[in-house]
């Protein structure tokens, strides 16, 4: 997810106005007895970044990233009985989580959630037979199944003994899939298939935009109108405005749109559907934003266009900065990400911008550009391709 995760844990990246992890907590908040959240890098930020309401919550630290099985092992001292385990960086529909839980409650063995994908080559595939998982194969060249691990598990306490018997993998980690294979041999492993549309993949930075649109479509979002709305503001569709935000005169917002706490929008700004504006952001006059995520404390002040983009924290756009988001031939947009060419599968994609990026007046950002944190794009300069952090583009 670089450059977005340069300073931010992946579970805190925002989708439809909330951190990824917050969606899971909110979906389950009425039925959680106890909540255990594993933290490591940037632990303090993660603790401060999620709301756990009045749920008894324990944060458990994993100082070294020794794998998912090692993570699960760390809750053994707290667990007495069956428990639900969900990866912190996946988004599942509320209905799919409850369907999984219902299946697990009726089962006497541990279970994993599976989903189907069109191209499973980049995943670990799951082979099943007669209601049981039969094999887990990591990233095969010729997949024999389109089922993959969806990142949700129902465990009985036997998982802890399986983890104790799990050996270090070639990556130097204790893999939960290896522990699951031990369970398969000892007592069998059940599964529940989650509909593809109810599981959202978040592997690459541009996946946030796909997730953002999907979550706006799926979630039962409360329409909050706690901010100040001046006269002659047009709000259409589902528009949520948090406290201390101000929507200034002449602004047109066409939902679904989330406006974060303390944001300042307008006058005469145009915010289009599937856009999430973070806390304390500034969107100024004659600026248009569509289908984008703008993280907190970023400023897109006046005469700017941002489409189909992810803007990191504390970024600042000079007047007249424009983001291109569509190829002239209408074909899919290919990006260079971590040095490799990748077909995003998207016809529209603007910029993926890390934190603390600044652009000068009348600068231009080409389609599918990825900009590392702390970069300066000079006045009238053109940014394109993959740009490393702390770069200077003149």
What positions carry a catalytic annotation?
302
> Quick count: other Cβ atoms within 10 Å of Cβ 118?
6
CB 176 within 8 A of CB 147: no
At residue 155, φ and ψ (nearest 5 deg) are -115, 140
How far apart are alpha carbons 345 and 342 in whole angstroms? 9
How far apart are alpha carbons 247 and 256 in whole angstroms? 16
> Long-range contacts of range 24-31, CB-CB < 8 Å, 24 or more positions apart?
24/86, 24/88, 24/90, 24/91, 24/92, 24/97, 25/50, 25/51, 25/52, 25/53, 25/55, 27/92, 27/94, 27/97, 28/84, 28/97, 29/53, 29/55
CB 125 within 8 A of CB 145: yes
Please state at what angle helix 94-105 crosses helix 20-28, rounded to 10 degrees.
50
Reduced to 3 states, what is the DSSP secondary structure of residue 31? helix
Beta bridge partners of 56: none
How far apart are alpha carbons 262 and 282 in whole angstroms? 9
Q: Which two tokens stand for residue 383?
A: 């940014």
> Quick count: other Cβ atoms within 10 Å of Cβ 242?
18
> Long-range contacts of range 57-61, CB-CB < 8 Å, 24 or more positions apart?
58/34, 60/36
How far apart are alpha carbons 8 and 12 in whole angstroms? 7
How far apart are alpha carbons 32 and 143 in whole angstroms? 37
How far apart are alpha carbons 360 and 362 in whole angstroms? 6
How far apart are alpha carbons 35 and 387 in whole angstroms? 40
CB 38 within 8 A of CB 238: no
Q: What torsion, rounded to 10 degrees, do the Cα atoms 314, 319, 325, 327 define?
A: -140
């Amino acid at each position: 997810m670089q450059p977005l995760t340069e300073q931010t844990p992946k579970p805190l990246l925002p989708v439809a106005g909330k951190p990824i992890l917050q969606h899971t907590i909110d979906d389950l908040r009425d039925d959680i007895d106890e909540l255990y959240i594993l933290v490591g890098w940037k632990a303090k930020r993660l603790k401060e970044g999620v709301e756990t309401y009045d749920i008894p919550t324990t944060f458990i630290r994993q100082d070294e990233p020794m794998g998912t099985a090692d993570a699960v092992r760390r809750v053994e001292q707290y667990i007495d009985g069956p428990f639900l385990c969900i990866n912190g960086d996946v988004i599942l529909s509320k209905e799919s989580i409850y369907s999984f839980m219902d299946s697990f409650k009726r089962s006497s063995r541990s279970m994993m959630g599976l989903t189907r994908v069109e191209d499973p080559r980049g995943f670990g595939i799951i082979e099943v037979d007669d209601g049981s998982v039969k094999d887990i194969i990591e990233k095969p060249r010729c997949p024999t199944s389109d089922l993959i691990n969806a990142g949700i598990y129902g465990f009985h306490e036997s998982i802890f003994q399986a983890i104790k018997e799990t050996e270090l993998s070639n990556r130097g980690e204790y893999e939960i899939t290896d522990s699951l294979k031990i369970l398969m041999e000892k007592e069998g492993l059940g599964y529940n298939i989650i509909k593809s549309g109810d599981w959202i993949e978040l592997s690459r930075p541009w996946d946030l935009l796909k997730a953002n649109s999907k979550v706006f479509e799926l979630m039962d979002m409360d329409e909050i109108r706690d901010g100040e709305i001046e006269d002659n503001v047009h709000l259409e569709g589902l528009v949520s405005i948090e406290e201390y935000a101000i929507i200034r005169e002449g602004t047109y917002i066409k939902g679904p749109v989330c406006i974060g706490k303390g944001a300042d929008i307008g006058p005469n700004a145009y915010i289009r559907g599937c856009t999430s504006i973070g806390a304390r952001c500034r969107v100024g006059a004659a600026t248009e934003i569509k289908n984008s995520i703008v993280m907190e404390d970023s400023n897109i002040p006046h005469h700017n266009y941002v489409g189909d983009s992810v803007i990191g924290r504390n970024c600042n756009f000079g007047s007249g900065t424009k983001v291109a988001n569509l190829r002239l031939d209408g074909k899919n947009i290919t990006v260079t990400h971590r040095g490799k060419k990748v077909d995003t599968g998207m016809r529209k994609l603007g910029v993926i911008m890390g934190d603390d990026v600044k652009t000068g007046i009348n600068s231009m950002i080409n389609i599918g550009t990825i900009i590392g944190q702390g970069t300066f794009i000079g006045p009238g300069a053109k940014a394109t391709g993959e740009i490393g952090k702390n770069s200077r583009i003149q």
